[in-house]
Amino acid sequence: MILGLTGGIASGKSTVSKKLKELGSYIIDADKISKEVSNSLEVLKKLEQNFGSEVVNGGYLDRPKLREIIFESKQKRELLNNIMHPIIVKNIAEEIERNRGKEMIILDIPLLYETELEYLCDKVLVVCAEEEIQIERIKARDGIGWELAKKIIDAQMPLLEKINKADIYIENNGNLEELLKKIERIYNELTK
């Protein structure tokens, strides 16, 4: 089974993914693939041409600088997606093929619905949290202000829309112990 794992930023997807791995799932991490792609010379050159030399620092992508630029403009986000997504999708599809025999493959893609990749999945699990909780987690994790955190959330598909499209969802407004119990229950139901 291929389970798509998605949700809002700072909703707890990484924690869910980590626990699913501990339970025996194979994880394909789209963010990891994206980082690998974004640091390839070919892509760095395209990013520099389209977003300016300040987004490349010492031969690596300056993610905070690029984030500032793309969250100021929907057109710039779309341009970034047009550069990155075809390569990322190709790499994800290749990794799925290499691991087809595994019982449970988790396709961890934060923007699964936004990139219309749900067709790769047998089922989709959405992790969600209240917006104020997300904002506080983003601010603490990334060291950014409320305004940028809100812009990042607003740039994503509304959580309610993701929940309505999903097969399963987990609310992560409580503590870690509650979340881990929910994950185990869902994993056990899916692997019966």
Is pLDDT at 68 greater than 90 in this prediction?
Answer: no
Question: Which CATH code for domain 30-101?
Answer: 3.40.50.300
Q: Which residues pair with 105 in a beta bridge?
A: 2, 26
137-164: b (≥16 Cβ within 10 Å) or e: bbeeebebeeebbeebbeebeebeebee
Which of 114, 107, 88 is closest to 8 using CA atoms?
114
Residue-wise pLDDT for 69-113, tens only, equals: 998 888 999 999 999 999 999 999 999 999 999 999 999 999 899
pLDDT band at 179 (very low <50, low <70, confident <90, very high): very high
Query: Residue 124: beta bridge partners?
Result: 4
Domains 1-25+103-192 and 30-101 share a fold: yes
Return the pLDDT at 114.
Answer: 87
The structure's pTM equals 0.86
Q: What tokens does 104 get?
A: 């449970």
In this structure, which CATH number among 3.40.640.10, 3.40.50.300, 2.60.40.10, 3.40.1190.20 belongs to the domain 1-25+103-192?
3.40.50.300
User: For 20-60, what is each residue's pLDDT tens digit?
Assistant: 999 999 999 999 999 999 989 999 999 999 999 999 998 89
Q: How does pLDDT run across 128-151, given as a tens digit for each residue?
A: 999 999 999 999 999 999 999 999
In angstroms, the CA 24 to CA 21 distance is 5
Domain locations in the chain as residue ranges: 1-25+103-192, 30-101
